[in-house]
Amino acid sequence: MPATEIEWSQTEKEIAQAAFVKAREREVNATIETVRQAANAIANADELWRLHDFLSSKRHEIDGKYDYRYPVLLLVFSQLVKEGWLCLDELQGLAPDKITKVSALSRM
């Protein structure tokens, strides 16, 4: 079945939304902590612009990765699981075939 034809019940949408928000919050909070530590250690212009480069890259990455569209959502979740921003347990309540797919993709 093509990804675009996956169906989502209302309950599944709520679980997915909560998991998505939670993962993004975790990644943003980790980024904030990294920025805080970096900022407190900056000693010169080169290090300041290195922090700017890091933020540019991270913003681009986060903007691109957190794509809440149902046809791509299982792929998004698999990446988040792979990177440690989301646990499979947090997807409990989705149809078993969805969780199986996320789990399989996250190991690829």
From 12-20, 42-50, 67-75, 97-105, span contacting a second copy (CB under 8 A): 42-50
Smaller CB distance to a second copy: residue 1 or 43?
43
Maximal CA-CA distance, the chain:
55
Q: Find, among 57, 74, 66, 70, the residue nearest to 27 by Cα.
A: 66
Residue from 5, 7, 40, 69 in contact with a second copy (CB under 8 A): 40
The residues of the shown chain that bind a second copy, judged by CB under 8 A, are 24, 28, 31-32, 35-36, 38-40, 42-45, 48-49, 51-52, 55-56, 59, 62
